[in-house]
Amino acid sequence: MARLLVFLLTLCQGFILAHTASIRVQIPSSNLIPNPYTLPSSTHATLTSGSGPPLKASLRRGNYFQFDNVTTVGSLLLDVYTRDFVFAPYRIDIAPSADSTGTVIIGAWETYRGTRWEDKGVALVAAPTTDLALSIKALTSKNFYEQRQGFNPMSLLKNPMILMGGVALLFTFGMPKLMENMDPEMKAEYEEMQKKTSMGSVARAMQGGGSNPAEFDIAGYLAGTGKSTGNDRSSGSTRERKR
Which amino acid does the sequence have at 82?
Answer: T
For residue 11, pLDDT over 50 is answered with no
How much is the average pLDDT of 79-100?
Answer: 90
Q: Tell me the C-alpha distance between 72 and 52, whole Å.
A: 8
Q: Tell me the C-alpha distance between 133 and 67, whole Å.
A: 10
Percent of the chain's residues with pLDDT above 90 = 33
For residue 146, pLDDT over 80 is answered with no
For residue 71, pLDDT over 50 is answered with yes
For residue 97, pLDDT over 70 is answered with yes
Q: Tell me the C-alpha distance between 24 and 67, whole Å.
A: 6
Mean pLDDT of the chain: 77
pTM for this predicted structure: 0.55
Q: Tell me the C-alpha distance between 32 and 42, whole Å.
A: 19
Which amino acid does the sequence have at 7?
Answer: F
Higher pLDDT, residue 214 or 134? 134
> What secondary structure, in 3-state letters, does 30-51 show?
CCCCCCHHHCCCCCEEEEECCC
Is the Cβ–Cβ distance between 31 and 113 less than 8 Å? no
pLDDT of residue 6: 44
Reported as a pLDDT band with limits 50, 70 and 90, residue 237 is very low
How much is the average pLDDT of 110-120?
Answer: 83
| Distance in Å from the first CA to the final CA of the chain | 142
How much is the average pLDDT of 52-62?
Answer: 92
Higher pLDDT, residue 227 or 160? 160
- List the one residue out of 7, 19, 185, 18 whose CA is nearest residue 97: 19
For residue 119, pLDDT over 60 is answered with yes
- The set of residues, in sequence order, having a beta carbon less than 8 Å from that of 212 and lying 6+ positions away, is 195, 201
Is the Cβ–Cβ distance between 205 and 217 less than 8 Å? no
Cα dihedral 142/145/146/150 (nearest 10): -110
Q: What share of the chain is helix, strand, coil (3-state, %, to 5)?
A: 35, 25, 40
Q: What angle do CA 186, 189, 193 make, to 5 degrees?
A: 135
Is the Cβ–Cβ distance between 55 and 72 less than 8 Å? yes
pLDDT of residue 201: 56
How much is the average pLDDT of 78-107?
Answer: 90
- At 148-187, the pLDDT tens digits run 777 777 777 778 888 888 888 887 777 777 777 777 787 7
Higher pLDDT, residue 225 or 185? 185
Reported as a pLDDT band with limits 50, 70 and 90, residue 36 is very high
Which amino acid does the sequence have at 108?
Answer: A
Reported as a pLDDT band with limits 50, 70 and 90, residue 217 is low
pLDDT of residue 22: 92
How much is the average pLDDT of 190-195?
Answer: 75
Q: How many CB atoms lie within 10 A of CB 44?
A: 14
